[in-house]
Structure formats: structure tokens, C-alpha cells
Amino acid sequence: MIHILYSKGKLQYLFVLIVVLFKCVRRYSVSGILYRRCIRHWKSSFTVFICLIMLTVLVGGCANHRLETYEELRSTEIQQPAYYHTEVEKRVSNTESDPIIASDPFLDEVEAKVLKYQEQWQVQLESETPMPDLFYDLSGDTVKAYRQLAASPEEAKTRLAQSIELELLIALGYEWNPGLKSAREKIRAVLEQYPQAVYLENVLRQYNAFTKQLDTKAGPMSHKEMMAMKFPFPGTLTLKGQIVTEDVLIAQKEFEIVLRDLVTQIRLAYYDYLFLIEATRINEENQALLQQMIAIAQAKFRVGQGKYSNVIMAQVELSKLADTIITLEQQRETIIARLNTLLNASTDLPLGVPVPIEEERVIPALAELYALAVQKRQEIQKQKLAISKMTLAVEMAKQMTYPDPTLGASYFENRSMGNLKHTQKIPVTFMTQRTLNPANTAWFGHRDSYIHEMDVKIEAMEHRIEELESSLRFVVKKHHFGMETANRSIRLYRHTLLPQARQALDAANTAYQAAQIDFLSFLDAQRTLLNLRIVEQRALRDYRQHLAQLEQAVGMILSKQPLTQE
């Protein structure tokens, strides 16, 4: 208290202390104890001497106005009791210098194996070579060059303004697409579960001690440390590592699903882009042909061999073609915006003309496609991994139904009771405890209920696989049928209808110039050829899109051969 008065240096503390002392004297005087003593010895020299000393010390402390900061107070050495120096400081020094427990070689080996999985996955993610067994092959030299180009966005955008290829778009999408980046980072996040699984076992292996207060019912309470140590089963750590591995594999399948859908969306948009470019070119060719025929019709009209209605009909047809070309250009801008969105680029970024691709058809038959879809579809593989993870969790729950073996010891010395009179001193108590026998552990019904719940969930997930397989067969059948229908249309147009339409147009052109047919017959022949060419290109686009969606349903790029080979 005097130290506080020195540090504060305020006079009001003196008055507060005098009031407190006065109240204490008054309280004891009421009880009759201090009253009689103070009345008897109030004028004694000893009492006066003591009061003078107290007043001198208090006034001197208040007169000292020096202020000490918090750091000075904290640096002041505080007198600690003997128990603190003999028990607490000694115990802290021992824990810092001496190891708590010896390392378990077997557990250390399992821990190193678990952490090795994390290192392998991290190396795979940070390497330039993508993960194996991906939906699209990204290990080719051309794709690698395009992926390196993605590191320089300005150069990549300049390259996109030129003629574009499907591989270029897929490589840039692999590096730029935010959904794919999110799936990749999710794998990194799941990898951090490996140290967490190991950390829990390390905590359970450590020596734990705590202070337990004991109420002796007589005298002051005494306390000593109680210590215990658990010995976790190594199999539990192994199962935890396997569960984390299943989580990593599930995250990898989710990454593959995002990549598969991204590649499919880029392919669908690219095929639309090719169709629009080709349809625009066909309409422009017909526009040029109509302009020639309008010139011929006007020349015939001037010499009196034609009708003015023929010129009007040709101009109307020419206006229709011009409007169709404008519509195709607008659709082209929409497809460009769609591709830029998939690349995570600006929707107004200009894209060059797409490079035509080789026409191919798949080799496997429909029955083989069913088997491949059930085997390779990423959603089914992900569901099977989830079932495997759940099975490991059930196995670990069965192992953890009984607690880990624990050894402990407690030490109690009742010093207070030994000081009581007419009481024999109680000897030192030392008791050990163990839980090595699972049969002595209490059993609760909720443990069985949890395991039964997991079993039912596993059964439900297996039925979910059956549902996925059933719906997948329908999707494969649908796109295989659409692909075959489009293939038949392509062969029909290329081998039969288009050659006949070209012959009819050539004959109509010759007959019209020779004044053997009217201009309306020529327009019908020209319009028929135009429509057949557009429909043939639309069938080719539909075939490619059904093929891309079929490969998306199967979950892999199928083996193919050129479409012209029958």
C-alpha cells in the first residue's frame, strides 16, 4: 500500500486510509474488544508513539510526487512466496529442458507416410505438367506453348486477334478461367488436412498434467499434480490419413469435372463460331451471285427481253440476304462474348477467324460407350470415392468406440491433517490408474447408432450411383442418336442433294440467259442451293456438338477416325 502511495503521490489516498482506519476502530469498538483497550491505553506513550510513526510514513509517501510508468512498475521485482520458487519455477525449467516423452518410432513412421502424401500432391500441383488422367490432354508441345503464352496477357490478347485455334482457347481457359482456379485452390486447401490429422495424434500422445484441488474437510485444502498419458492406436492415424487422401481425390474429381465442362463449353462455342463464319461466307457468295443476276435482268429489261418484275424480285431477294448477313454478324459478336467469358477476358475483346478442324467420327459402338461412361464418368467416380471415405470413417468409428489406452498416476500428501492434535498423521497416498482393458469401458447406445447411421448413408449413396448410371445411359443414347442423325444428314447433303442442287442451278442459269426460263425459276434454284448449303453446315455443327456432349457424358476423349472414311 505504501508503494502505491509513493507511486501515485496523491493526498486524497491519505484521507481515504484515515477514514478506513477510523471505521475499523469504530467497528471493533462496538464489539467491545478494541474499545476497552483504547480507553485504557489511549494516553499511554506507546500508542502515541505508534500513531506518530504511521502519520510520518504516510505524509512522507504522499509528499513524494514522482510518477512511475507501467513499464517501471512491471520491472520492479515482486517478492514471490517460497512455494512459487520451489515448485513453479522448478517445474517450468524442467519442462523446457527435458523432453516430455520419448518418440514412438512406429507412430513417427506413420506420420511421415501421411505427410508424404501431402508433399506429393503439392509437387504435382506446382509442376508444369497437369495432373494425370485429365479429360483433355494438356501435355502436348502446342498446348504447353499456349499455356506459357497465357502468362503474358497482352501478348495472348494480341494472338487472339489473329486466327484462333481450339487448342489455343482451351489452353488459355485452363490458365485463366476463375472456376478452374477455384477448383485448383480447393485441392490445395484439402491438402492442409494432412498436418491437422497428424497434429491431433501428437496432442493425444503428449503428457498432460493439471492441478487438482482436494477438499480435506479439515484444515486448508492441499493439492498436488495429477498426470496422465494416452497411447493412441497407430491404426487410427493411418485411417485419418486415408480419409484425407479420399478428400483430396474427391477434390481432384471436382477439378476434372470443372475442366471437362469448361472444355465442352469452349468446344460448343467454337463450333457455333465455325458455323456462323461458314454461313456468312455462303450468304455472301449468294449475294454476289444475285448481284450478277440483277445486272443481267436489268440489261434484258433495257433491250425489251425481260420484265421489270424480275428486277424487283431479285432486289427483294438481295435485301433478304443482306439482312441475314447482319443477323449472322450479330450472332457472331454474341459467340465472341461467350468465348471471352469462358476465358475470363473482356466481352469486347476481338477474336480472329477460327481455323477449321478435321471432321471425325467415333469408333466405339453404343454398347461400348455405355461401359466407358459407367467407368470414366467423373460424377460416378466421385460418388464411389465418397462411399470409400464413408467406409473408412465407419471403420475408424469402430476403432474409436473404445477409448485409447491411458496410464495415469496421482499423488496426495495431507499435511494439514497431520498438524491436528490428537490425530494420527495420514501416510502419503500414491495411486495409479489404467484403461488398457476395453471390457471395463462403459458402453453407450449412441455409438452403435452412429455406425448404423453411416451404414444406411452408404447404402443410400450406392443407390445414388445406380441412379447416375441409369440417367447417364440415357444421355449417351441421346447424343449418340443425335450424332448419327447429323452424320446421315451430312452424307445425304454432300453425296446427293448438294450435287443435284448445283446442277439445277447451273442449268437454270444457262436457261435463263438463253431466255428459256423465267427469272423466278432461276431464283428458286438459287434459293434451294443456298438453303441446302446452310443446312449441311448446320448438320456438321450439330454433329460436332453432339460429339462433344457425348464425350462429356462418357468423361473422356474418344478414339476417332476421319468422317469421310466409311
Per-residue pLDDT tens over the stretch 367-384: 999 999 999 999 999 999
Per-residue pLDDT tens over the stretch 449-477: 778 888 898 999 999 999 999 999 999 99
Q: Which of 42-46, 213-217, 399-403 has the lowest mean pLDDT?
A: 42-46
- pLDDT value of residue 127: 64
- pLDDT value of residue 518: 81
Residue 324 domain flag: yes
* Same domain for 58 and 156: no
Per-residue pLDDT tens over the stretch 119-136: 766 666 666 555 667 888
Q: Which residue has the higher pLDDT, 378 or 297?
A: 378
Other beta carbons within 10 angstroms of residue 296's beta carbon come to 18
108 falls in which pLDDT band (50, 70, 90)? Answer: low
Calpha distance 62→54 (Å, rounded)? 12
H/E segment holding residue 432? strand 429-434
Judge whether 288 and 305 are in contact, CB under 8 Å: no
Residue 355 domain flag: yes
* Same domain for 41 and 139: no
Q: Quickly tell me which residue has 494480341 as its cell.
A: 158
Between vectors from CA 181 to CA 192 and to CA 475, what angle results, nearest 5°?
Answer: 105
- pLDDT value of residue 555: 93
* Same domain for 374 and 304: yes
Mean pLDDT of 392-398: 83
Per-residue pLDDT tens over the stretch 264-281: 999 999 999 999 999 999
Using a pLDDT cut of 70, give the percent of the chain over it.
Answer: 60
pTM of the model: 0.70
pLDDT of residue 301 exceeding 50, the answer is: yes
Q: Half-sphere exposure of residue 364, counting CA atoms within 13 Å on the CB side?
A: 19
Q: Which of 31-40, 124-133, 291-300 has the lowest mean pLDDT?
A: 31-40
- pLDDT value of residue 80: 42
DSSP codes joined into one string, 303-352? TTSS-HHHHHHHHHHHHHHHHHHHHHHHHHHHHHHHHHHHTTS-TT----
How far is C-alpha 80 from the geometric centre of its chain's CA atoms?
53
DSSP codes joined into one string, 102-154? ---HHHHHHHHHHHHHHHHHHHHHHSSS--SS-SS---SHHHHHHHHHTTSHH
* Same domain for 231 and 140: yes
Strand partners, 412: 429
- pLDDT value of residue 81: 44
- pLDDT value of residue 104: 52
4 falls in which pLDDT band (50, 70, 90)? Answer: very low
pLDDT of residue 241 exceeding 90, the answer is: no
HEC sequence for 502-537: HHHHHHHHHHHHCCCCCHHHHHHHHHHHHHHHHHHH
Per-residue pLDDT tens over the stretch 334-346: 999 999 999 999 9
Q: Which of 9-23, 82-96, 290-304, 445-459 has the lowest mean pLDDT?
A: 82-96
- pLDDT value of residue 218: 55
* Same domain for 38 and 172: no
Main-chain phi, psi angles of 408, to 5 degrees: -150, 165
Q: Quote the cell numbers at residue 154.
A: 497482352
* Same domain for 404 and 269: yes
Q: Which residue has the higher pLDDT, 4 or 255?
A: 255
pLDDT of residue 332 exceeding 80, the answer is: yes
Judge whether 201 and 107 are in contact, CB under 8 Å: yes
* Same domain for 8 and 155: no
Across 215-320, the runs of DSSP E, i.e. the strands, are: 222-230
Calpha distance 493→533 (Å, rounded)? 8
Residue 364 domain flag: yes
How far is C-alpha 368 from the geometric centre of its chain's CA atoms?
34
- pLDDT value of residue 93: 45
Per-residue pLDDT tens over the stretch 404-434: 566 565 555 555 544 445 455 555 555 555 5
pLDDT of residue 242 exceeding 90, the answer is: no
* Same domain for 53 and 192: no
* Same domain for 68 and 192: no
Per-residue pLDDT tens over the stretch 170-228: 999 999 999 999 998 998 888 887 777 665 555 555 545 544 455 555 555 554 445 55
For 219-224, the CB contacts below 8 A with 24+ separation are 219/416, 219/417, 219/419, 219/420, 220/416, 221/416, 222/412, 222/413, 222/414, 222/415, 222/416, 224/410, 224/411, 224/412, 224/413
Q: Quote the cell numbers at residue 250.
A: 474427391
Residues of the domain holding 35:
2-79
Using alpha carbons only, how large is the chain's radius of gyration in Å?
A: 45
* Same domain for 466 and 386: yes
Other beta carbons within 10 angstroms of residue 13's beta carbon come to 16
Residue 121 domain flag: no
Q: Which residue has the higher pLDDT, 420 or 546?
A: 546
Per-residue pLDDT tens over the stretch 73-106: 334 444 444 433 443 344 444 444 444 444 555 4
Mean pLDDT of 500-504: 93
- pLDDT value of residue 511: 87
Residue 120 domain flag: no
* Same domain for 330 and 211: yes
Mean pLDDT of 58-75: 43
- Give the residue ranges of DSSP H helices in 161-192: 166-176, 178-191
Residue 112 domain flag: no
- pLDDT value of residue 121: 66
CATH number, domain containing residue 198? 1.20.1600.10
Calpha distance 130→315 (Å, rounded)? 57
Calpha distance 130→124 (Å, rounded)? 7
Q: How many domains does the chain have?
A: 2
Residue 428 domain flag: no
- Burial class, 502, CB count within 10 angstroms (exposed 0-12 / middle 13-18 / buried 19+): middle
Mean pLDDT of 292-308: 77
Single out the residue in 79, 108, 140 at which a domain terminates. Answer: 79
Residue 438 domain flag: no
pLDDT of residue 444 exceeding 90, the answer is: no
- pLDDT value of residue 56: 52
107 falls in which pLDDT band (50, 70, 90)? Answer: low
* Same domain for 152 and 11: no
Q: Which of 17-21, 164-168, 295-299, 541-545 has the lowest mean pLDDT?
A: 17-21
Strand partners, 225: 211
